[in-house]
Chains A and B, each alone.
Chain A
Amino acid sequence: DVKVTQSSRYLVKRTGEKVFLECVQDMDHENMFWYRQDPGLGLRLIYFSYDVKMKEKGDIPEGYSVSREKKERFSLILESASTNQTSMYLCASSETGEKLFFGSGTQLSVL
C-alpha cells in the first residue's frame, strides 16, 4: 500500500517562527499536494507539485512556500507563522489521473 508520511502529528509554534512541515511518499508518485483543512471550509489547496523542483500555486498560497528537491519529499514552509495559520495540514500524492493518497495530517497551532 502507498504510504504518505507527515513528520509531525501535532505541532505548536509561536507567532513569527519559521515552520517546516515535511511529507514523504514511498510510491514514486509524480504529484504531491499540500491542503489546509478548516471547519466549514473543507480542504483548500495551498500548493502542488507535478515534478521535482516544479510547483504550482493553489487557491491559498499566501504566507506559504514549498520545496521539492527530491521526488518523494514535499515540504511546506511557513516563513513567518501567524495565528491565522493555525489549522490541520494534509499532504497527499498521486499519479496523474489517479486518486489521491493522504497522510494522517499535522495539526498546527500558532500561539
Chain B
Amino acid sequence: AQSVTQPDIHITVSEGASLELRCNYSYGATPYLFWYVQSPGQGLQLLLKYFSGDTLVQGIKGFEAEFKRSQSSFNLRKPSVHWSDAAEYFCAVLTNTGNQFYFGTGTSLTVIP
C-alpha cells in the first residue's frame, strides 16, 4: 500500500538558519512526488514536484528537494529561512493511475526572529 511519512510533526528554526523537512514514501513504482505549503487559514500551494530526471528539483520561494530512490526519501530544504516561511508543509505521492494522491500528516514550521 502506498504511504507517505513525515516523521517531524513540528520544527522550530531561527530566521536565517537552514531547514530540512523529511519525507519518506512507500510505493511500488517510480513515484511522482510533491511538496505543498499551507499558510494559516489557506488552501495548499505547490512548492515543487519531481516526476523524473534530475533528482534535485528547485521550487518556488527558494525551496529545493532531493529525490533519493535508495532511501525512499524526498526531503525539502531551504538554505536560509524567512519569517514568512512559517506554515504547514505536506509531502505527497501521486500514484501511477495519475489521479490519486497520498499525503503525509504534515510538518508545522515555526520561525523564531
Q: Which residues on A are within 8 Å of B, measured CB to CB? A: 4, 30-31, 33, 35, 40-45, 48, 50, 90, 92, 94, 96-100, 102-105
- What is the chain A residue whose CB lies nearest that of B105? A42
A100-B44 CB under 8 A given contacts A30-B99, A41-B105: yes
B28 interface contact, C-beta 8 A: no
Q: Is the CB of A48 within 8 A of B45?
A: no
The chain B residues found within 8 Å of chain A, CB to CB, are 6, 9, 32, 34, 36, 41-46, 49, 90, 92, 94, 97-101, 103-106
Q: B90 near A94 (CB under 8 angstroms)?
A: no
CA distance A98 to B44 in the complex (A): 15
- A45: chain B residues at CB < 8 Å are 100-101
Judge whether A97 and B98 touch: CB under 8 Å: yes
Partner of B101, one of A4, A100, A104: A100
Q: List 21 A-B contacts (CB under 8 A).
A: A30-B99, A33-B101, A40-B9, A42-B90, A42-B104, A42-B105, A43-B103, A48-B100, A50-B99, A90-B44, A94-B99, A96-B97, A96-B99, A97-B94, A97-B99, A100-B34, A100-B44, A100-B92, A100-B101, A102-B45, A105-B43
CB-CB nearest in chain B for A103: B43
7 further A-B contacts with Cβ under 8 Å, apart from A42-B90, A96-B99, A102-B44, are A42-B106, A97-B94, A97-B98, A99-B34, A100-B34, A100-B44, A102-B43
| Cα distance, A6 to B106, chains bound together (Å) | 22
Is A90 touching B98 in the complex (CB atoms < 8 A)?
A: no
Interface centre among B6, B46, B100 (most CB of A within 10 A): B100
Query: A30 CA to B90 CA in the complex, in Å?
Result: 23
- Give complex CA distance A58, B94 in Å: 14
Say yes or no: A43-B90 contact (C-beta < 8 A), given A48-B100, A94-B99: yes
